[in-house]
């Protein structure tokens, strides 16, 4: 036991040791208080950020919904315009077919008219040919005695 007593005397805690412990506890409690305040402050900031994020999420959802509605509206408008264009194209195709048919009929009429004019011209040419032939024969018959008389005079003059 002597050793233990000697040890206790040697390891004796100084009287001011209690005061160090109290100061340490005060510092630790003030540090804990400061940390708790910071944690509370950070938690409030996080809660604010969460609220801001949820507000942003709701705004993003609203914008996304608006964009989807706008896209759907535009898709409907595109479909309407596409349908109108198809109807216009069909109407124009029908009009083109009508005009093409009218042009074909006009061309056929003109071809018939050209054939008629050609036939008339051929008939006129044939009539003029026959008139020319008859006029030539008539003139030959008129001038034949004169020509024969001139030829007879020439032969008579040559023979003398």
**pTM to 2 decimal places:** 0.44
Residue bearing tokens 């124009």: 92
Given a cut of 70, whether residue 12 has pLDDT beyond it is no
Mean pLDDT value across the chain: 88
Tell me what pLDDT residue 116 has: 95
* Structure token pair of residue 146: 């004169």
Give the CA distances from residue 64 to residues 19, 75, 94, 112, in Å, rounded to whole numbers and listed in that order: 65, 16, 44, 70
The percentage of the chain sitting over the pLDDT mark of 90, rounded to a whole number, equals 56
| Domain ranges for the chain | 16-118
The percentage of the chain sitting over the pLDDT mark of 70, rounded to a whole number, equals 88
Higher pLDDT, 24 or 69: 69
Average pLDDT over residues 135-156: 89
Given a cut of 70, whether residue 14 has pLDDT beyond it is no
Average pLDDT over residues 95-124: 95
DSSP letters spanning 99-148: HHHHHHHHHHHHHHHHHHHHHHHHHHHHHHHHHHHHHHHHHHHHHHHHHH
Higher pLDDT, 117 or 11: 117
Tell me what pLDDT residue 80 has: 95
Tell me what pLDDT residue 20 has: 72
């Amino acid at each position: 036991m002597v050793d233990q007593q000697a040890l206790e005397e040697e390891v004796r805690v100084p009287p001011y040791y209690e005061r160090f412990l109290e100061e340490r506890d005060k510092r630790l409690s003030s540090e804990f208080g400061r940390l708790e305040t910071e944690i509370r402050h950070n938690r409030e900031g996080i809660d604010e950020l969460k609220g801001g994020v949820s507000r942003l999420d709701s705004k993003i959802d609203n914008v996304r919904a608006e964009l989807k509605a706008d896209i759907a509206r535009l898709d409907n408008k595109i479909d309407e315009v596409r349908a109108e264009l198809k109807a216009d194209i069909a109407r124009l195709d029908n009009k083109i077919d009508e005009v093409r048919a009218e042009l074909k009929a006009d061309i056929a009429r003109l071809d018939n008219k050209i054939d008629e004019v050609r036939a008339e011209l051929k008939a006129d040419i044939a009539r003029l040919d026959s008139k020319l032939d008859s006029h030539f024969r008539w003139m030959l018959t008129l001038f034949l005695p004169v020509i024969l008389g001139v030829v007879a005079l020439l032969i008579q003059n040559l023979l003398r």
